[in-house]
């Protein structure tokens, strides 16, 4: 599933954006989230989040293996985000004040990233 929220000014936290926009997920989907979404459990969704090491304790081998699996899935998402941010207009201060222009810029940056990755995979064939 792919989802792109509206753009928000300043340093608006991702969880707050989810709370405001309330995205709808397909039934019985698995959601791999990072620790910034602590306490976010949309209905009908199975969420997976890395376990923190207990204070003065240690994680079990099963918890470590689960954390490694979650991290291997999350890293793909983080690489996509960094690929979109190659368009510096997305990550630098955006001074244009036209309404919805920031949203269009983000959509174009995502489209360029998708084009780059599609072209890269076709070039390998």
Q: Residue 94 pLDDT > 80, yes or no?
A: no
| DSSP per-residue string spanning 58-123 | ---HHHHHHHHHHHHHHHHHHHHHHHHTTSHHHHS-----STTHHHHHHHHHHHHHHHHHHHHHHH
User: What pTM does this model have?
Assistant: 0.68
Average pLDDT score over the chain:
85
Q: Average pLDDT, stretch 72-82? A: 88
Structural domain boundaries in the chain: 1-49
Q: Average pLDDT, stretch 14-21? A: 87
Helix or strand (DSSP H, E) at 17:
helix 14-21
Distance of CA 103 to the CA centre of its chain: 16
Contact 26, 1 (CB under 8 A): yes
């Amino acid at each position: 599933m792919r989802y792109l929220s509206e753009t928000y000014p300043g340093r608006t936290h991702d969880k707050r954006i989810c709370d405001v926009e309330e995205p709808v997920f397909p039934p019985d989907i698995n959601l791999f989230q990072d620790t910034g979404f602590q306490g976010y459990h949309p209905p009908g969704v199975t969420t997976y989040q890395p376990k923190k090491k207990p204070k003065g304790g240690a994680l079990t081998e099963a918890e470590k293996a689960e954390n490694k699996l979650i991290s291997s899935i999350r890293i793909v998402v983080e690489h996509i985000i960094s690929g979109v941010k190659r368009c510096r207009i997305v990550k630098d201060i955006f001074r244009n004040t036209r309404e919805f222009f920031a949203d269009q810029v983000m959509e174009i940056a995502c489209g360029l990233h998708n084009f780059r990755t599609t072209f890269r995979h076709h070039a390998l064939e």
